[in-house]
Amino acid sequence: MSDRFLVSGGNRLVGEVVVGGAKNSVLKLMAAALLAEGTSVITNCPDILDVPLMAEVLRGLGCEVELEGDEARITTPAQPKYQADFAAVRQFRASVCVLGPLVARCRKAVVALPGGDAIGSRPLDMHQTGLRLLGAHSTIEHGCVVAEADALHGNAIRLAFPSVGATENILMAAVLANGETTIDNAAREPEIVDLCNMLVQMGARISGAGTSTLTITGVSRLEPTTHRVIGDRIVAATWGIAAAMTRGDVRVRGINPKHLSLVLDKLRSAGAEVTPEVDGFRVVQHDRPRAVNFATLPYPGFPTDLQPMAIGLAAVADGTSMITENVFEARFRFVEEMIRLGADARTDGHHAVVRGVEELSSAPVWSSDIRAGAGLVLAGLCADGVTEVHDVYHIDRGYPRFVEIIEELGGVIERVNSES
């Protein structure tokens, strides 16, 4: 059984939040340490549950991993093990990112099909297709992805969809392949650029980071490095949207505001005063937010990870909003929980229509994934009475110091042990 949060509504969030490293980057950077024998150091690691989980995956592959403060020291042996332990991998989706590095270093990988958030189908077809084009034989056997190659050779690869995970795995395999690889329709997320920057520091030859075409010229060997994780734009945007929902005033620091240009524009459309700063932004919302339409798309579009927060904002806005989900088909299951809180919302396929109400009403709700859990807490901050949010271990996987930050901003929230 999981702990639960008791969230009391009615308070404006006011103050400053310093955001740590990006969850969607740090786990891939930790996996990239497999590509070089020796000790790599990753700094600005977020204090979230997935970091020690990834450390366990790497230890199972023969690495020594030390986690201290916001730093991870990963010492990779000359010959890593190639089989990722099922018990560790099954707990979170990002564990599949060891597939590419293991094929590159060991010429073989056996990685259990990963678990993670229940937000829809996320098959590994593009991962496997990319590795096959690099010369690997890849199958699904006994609940595991199995990939083997006598040698990896560069190739022209075009992704059917700009998948972040597939881009990362193919990229990390290609850096040690013979010859040149191009990945067309590659993911463009800032976290991909962060990974490319670390790989280049290790000696990889990569061009086109941040564009839809990556060109990788394989090298024979990489060296360990020290790298700082970029700030978490999803966590930062969550606090910005929380300010708008609660009619608050929140300054967020620790990220590049250019990574959230579209999100900040949407908050302006909702009536917020948004001020970009050197290392963040400030959101001030004086009145009830205005209704705004959202459509999720791969970067630089509106992030699917912020869709629950967009629905939360729409639920308390003045007017009717249309939210379109173009990335993960099951993400709208979150709407059922919002309806428990009094949201006037209907879903039809990829679309949700939300008619804003003046105030939500407290109720017990259940989080199905990291972002849904955060969205439900934000909604609870705008509801009368006390909202119980269950299964909050999801939130712990993506948001450092979640309860403490809300309290520091003036919100009322309490973590209750599952046995209480």
- What SS3 state is found at 389? strand
Q: Which residue has the tokens 């606090």?
A: 239
Q: Say whether 266 counts as a known binding-site residue.
A: no
For residue 32 the two structure tokens come to 């990239």
Strands of the sheet containing 144-148, edge to edge, are: 83-84, 108-112, 144-148, 137-141
Q: What is the DSSP letter of 14?
A: E
The rounded distance, in Å, linking the Cα atoms of 198 and 193 is 9
117 an active-site residue? yes
Q: Say whether 24 counts as a known binding-site residue.
A: yes
- The end-to-end CA distance of the chain, in Å, is 11
For residue 6 the two structure tokens come to 């008791």
Q: Which residue has the tokens 């407290």?
A: 362
Report CA torsion sign: 23, 165, 241, 375. Answer: negative
Please, where are the H alpha helices in 202-354? 233-245, 261-269, 307-315, 333-340
CB atoms within 10 A of CB 272: 26
Q: Do residues 284 and 272 make contact, with C-beta atoms less than 8 angstroms apart?
A: yes
The rounded distance, in Å, linking the Cα atoms of 340 and 368 is 14
Which region, left, alpha or beta, applies to residue 18 given φ > 0 means left and ψ of -120 to 50 means alpha? beta
Determine the angle formed by the axes of helices 99-106 and 23-32, rounding to 10 degrees: 10
The rounded distance, in Å, linking the Cα atoms of 39 and 202 is 11
The rounded distance, in Å, linking the Cα atoms of 316 and 288 is 8
- What SS3 state is found at 178? strand
Q: Say whether 122 counts as a known binding-site residue.
A: no
The rounded distance, in Å, linking the Cα atoms of 241 and 264 is 9
Half-sphere exposure for 67 (CA within 13 Å, toward CB): 16
Q: Do residues 214 and 30 make contact, with C-beta atoms less than 8 angstroms apart?
A: no
- Among residues 3, 50, 117, 369, which one is catalytic? 117
Binding site membership for UDP-N-acetyl-alpha-D-glucosamine: which residues?
93, 305, 327
- Residues labelled as active-site residues: 117
